[in-house]
Amino acid sequence: MMLGKHVDDPEFSGSGNNGNNKYKSRNIRDGRRNRGLILIYCFTITSKDPSEYLGLYRAALKGDWNTARDLIKDDPSGKTAVVAVHNATALHVAAAEGHWLFVEELIKELEPEALEFMTDMSGRTALHCAANTKTARVLVNRNPKLTQIKCTSIEVVPLMYAAMAASPSNEQKSMVQYLSEVTTDDHSNPFSGDTAGALIFNITSAGFYDIALALIERYPNLALDHAVGACALAAIAGIPEASLNGIMMVDHLHAKRGDMENPPQSLTCRSIGPTVPGIERVCNMKLMHKQYLSLVKCIFTKLAQANPLGVSMHPVDGKSHLGFAIDQRCENVYNMLVSGNKSRMHAWTCRKDSSANTILHFAAKLAPPHKLISISGAALKMQRELQWFKEVERITPEMTKDSTNNDGKTARVLFTKQHADLLEKGEKWMKDTATSCMLVATLIATVVFAAPFTAPGGSISDINSKDNGIPIFLRKNSFMVFAIADSLALFSSLTSSSSQDYLLRLMGVLI
């Protein structure tokens, strides 16, 4: 490999190339602009067919460095040769498989600068392809500049690439965490502009709330920047598990009931997790909940600092932040805004979007699918929608409650139209449930009616005794419990005489 050559060096004029080799070069100024010195980093890329490196490819795929070392010793061009489809080198293959020891040994055979130019057909470096944190760490330690190089196909740095492919797993989170710490804002800055909005959106959507929080505290503009349909606010609105509704923390996990957020060290997941099945998962969800709330507070603090009135900032389709929270059914965001600065509430509640929809129109629309799917039963879904509409109606000014949008619909008319199908399914569900309850009640009544005639333990059958026919366990406390339970079951099962009675009661309870 040849480094640091001048542009006018005859060795780079092309006359020195033979038929078997070609040069790939990239011009980088070394900072000495007055002298005009341009450094050209080059490495030889063989023109051999990738099939000729099948052994090296298999070694990289398995992480077998001993075999690869012997092959490279016999043919040094294998260090940078294309060994697979899409112009992938052995370094790309090993990095993608997570063989960090193989990668560590291979990059010792290369100059650090060479790692910047070894790209596949999509322009990805080995760091873009790294499958785990250890692999990424050895690559960055060899050449820290890799964190700032964009792949040519979609123009993103490795951090953004990892965030786009992120999933809720410890390894993926560790990768994003590490890259967020080593990526800088000097060159190819991913922390500003459209890229920043997409970055924070992807990290938050993956459930990495603590990483998103750390990045926003480090780069406050991340709370404000947005790409098309992607921003921090859109991310927290689109996560159904974020509010962790229905997750009940067991009181005995904490020594003090009043200190639910900060359990003592003696009762942490580390100490009781191995003995209590599922407790580690519950503790992790509780931690995610706390991180989510901290992230929401941080985002809105940054938004408030950037724009104290908070009215002229419209995340999507001209909606205010309150309108966006209502439309996306974000209870935590809604509660924070409503309980916040009252001076902004009037402007938010009176404002209309580009289609003349008020906040009550937003509540009248059917909830997003990811919100409804977390509720079982059409009737319960309808109940939640009604409760949400009533809550928003409570804060809606009287003068806008009956306002019409550009389609000429009031919020109530829109609610009826949007929820017609859900209402029909809810009615059917309740009728089916009422019928099922009636059938179960009939079965219960049949059983408990016959129970007193066949008392547990039987009866005394002595014709010469004055207690003849009396249950044997009559004077036992357990028999009294049986008698009371049987009577209650009989009376409760006979309380309603038809499925219609059950339907009316069920509707009253649910709605």
Q: Are 116 and 24 in contact (CB under 8 A)?
A: no
Confidence band of 227 (pLDDT split at 50, 70, 90): low
Residue where a domain terminates, one of 105, 134, 155: 155
pLDDT in tens, 145-196: 999 999 988 889 999 999 988 776 778 899 999 999 999 988 788 888 778 8
Q: Which two tokens stand for residue 41?
A: 């980093």
Q: Which residues contact 99 (CB under 8 A, 6 or more apart)?
A: 60, 62, 63, 135
* DSSP assignments along 90-106, one per residue: HHHHHHHHT-HHHHHHH
Domain shared by 127 and 221, yes or no: no
151 and 55 co-located in one domain: yes
Last residue of a domain, one of 265, 297, 313: 313
Same domain assignment for residues 58 and 193:
no
234, 316 contact by CB (below 8 A) = yes
Residue 123: other Cβ atoms inside 10 A: 15
Decide the pairing of beta strands 226-227 and 21-29: unpaired
Taking the whole predicted model, whether its pTM rises above 0.85 is answered as no
Cβ proximity of 17 and 23 under 8 Å? yes
What pLDDT digit, counting tens, does each position of 312-358 carry?
444 556 677 788 888 888 887 788 778 766 666 777 788 888 888 99
Is 41 inside a domain boundary? no
- Domain membership of residue 450 (yes or no) is yes
Classify residue 228: in a domain, yes or no: yes
Residue 295 has pLDDT above 60, yes or no: yes
Highest mean pLDDT out of 205-209, 345-349, 444-448: 205-209
Residues 128 and 164 in one domain: no
Residue 112: inside a domain:
yes
The first and second tokens of residue 31, run together, are 């900072």
DSSP 185: S
Shared domain for 69 and 184, answered yes or no, is no
Same domain, 294 and 165: yes
Q: Specify burial of residue 386 (Cβ count, 10 A radius: 0-12, 13-18, 19+).
A: middle
User: Pick the residue with more confidence: 338 or 1?
Assistant: 338
What total number of domains does the chain contain? 3
Distance between CA 125 and CA 142 in Å, rounded?
Answer: 13
Residue 53 counted as domain residue: yes
Higher pLDDT, residue 77 or 275: 77
Mean per-residue pLDDT of the chain: 76
Write the DSSP symbol of residue 82: B
Q: Which of 402, 423, 411, 450 is nearest to 327 (CA)?
A: 411
Crossing angle of the two packed helices 477-493 and 420-450, in degrees rounded to 10? 140
Same domain, 296 and 182: yes
54 and 171 inside one domain: no
Express each pLDDT in 32-47 by its tens digit.
333 333 333 334 445 5
- Shared domain for 301 and 184, answered yes or no, is yes
User: What is the model's pLDDT at position 125?
Assistant: 95
Q: Does residue 2 lie within any of the structural domains?
A: no
Closest CA to 139 of 152, 124, 155: 124
Q: What percent of the chain has pLDDT over 90?
A: 30
CA distance 103 to 64: 10
Which structural domain, as residue segments, surrounds residue 143? 46-155
Task: Mark which of 127, 155, 183 sits at the end of a domain.
Answer: 155
122 in Cβ contact with 115 (< 8 Å): no
In this structure, is residue 19 part of a structural domain? no
pLDDT computed for residue 508 by the predictor: 56
**Per-range mean pLDDT, top range of 231-235, 295-299, 343-347, 394-398:** 394-398
